[in-house]
């Protein structure tokens, strides 16, 4: 059985993951509107990943006897100045999510909730990957934004990304 504070914190994170998916889908729509289908693909894949993360939290809450509670999800931005601005926000967003995951780990340790701490370690590792990935793409977008051909080539590269669902526990 989950401690009440832990259940509330896990539900908050579940809803943050849903928001993340919503944000990345808004970014995909922006890129589709900008005729950058590869960039849009990258964001759609990112949205799928975030929704799968939300489901991991949902499933964990249920397995531990808690209840998943869906909150209202605020509307994300829909307009950006450039591809660079979008990926700067992606990188900042992933850093914020990392901070939220770390707070969950801190709470699990405070409560001596070893099962939840173990569950959260997957997300700790995942956030290292998320920050590295978004930082890497941001660097490429900054370089490519200097020329139309560079942007075109990067669009082609980002269009190759494929969703890989996380392994089952």
Express each pLDDT in 126-162 by its tens digit.
999 999 999 999 999 999 998 889 999 999 999 999 9
User: What average pLDDT score do residues 79-99 get?
Assistant: 98
Dihedral sign for Cα atoms in the order 47, 7, 1, 106: positive
Q: Which of 154, 18, 149 is nearest to 86 (CA)?
A: 154
**169 confidence band (pLDDT: 50, 70, 90):** low
pLDDT of residue 165: 86
pLDDT at 168 over 70: no
Which has more pLDDT, 168 or 101? 101
Q: What is the mean pLDDT of the chain?
A: 96
pLDDT of residue 105: 98
Which domains, from first to last, does the chain contain? Answer: 4-70+79-158 (1.20.1260.10)
8-44: pLDDT as tens digits: 999 999 999 999 999 999 999 999 999 999 999 999 9
Q: How far apart are CA 140 and CA 160, in angstroms?
A: 15
Is the distance from CB of 30 to CB of 79 less than 8 angstroms?
yes
Which has more pLDDT, 50 or 1? 50
* First-to-final CA distance of the chain: 19
Please report, rounded to a whole number, the percentage of residues in the chain having pLDDT higher than 70.
99
pLDDT of residue 1: 85
């Amino acid at each position: 059985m989950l401690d009440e504070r832990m259940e509330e914190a896990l539900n908050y994170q579940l809803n943050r993951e849903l928001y993340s998916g919503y944000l990345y889908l808004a970014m995909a729509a922006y890129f589709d509107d900008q005729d950058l289908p590869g960039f849009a693909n990258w964001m759609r894949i990112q949205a799928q990943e975030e929704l799968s993360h939300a489901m991991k939290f949902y499933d964990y809450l249920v397995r531990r006897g808690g209840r998943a509670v869906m909150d209202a999800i605020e509307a994300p931005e829909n307009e950006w100045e450039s591809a660079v601005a979008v990926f700067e926000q992606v990188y900042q967003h992933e850093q914020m999510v990392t901070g939220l995951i770390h707070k969950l780990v801190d709470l699990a340790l405070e409560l001596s909730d070893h099962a939840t701490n173990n569950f959260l370690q997957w997300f700790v590792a995942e956030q290292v990957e998320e920050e590295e990935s978004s930082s890497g793409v941001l660097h490429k977008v900054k370089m490519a934004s200097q020329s139309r051909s560079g942007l075109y080539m990067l669009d082609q590269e980002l269009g190759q990304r494929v969703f890989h669902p996380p392994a089952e526990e």
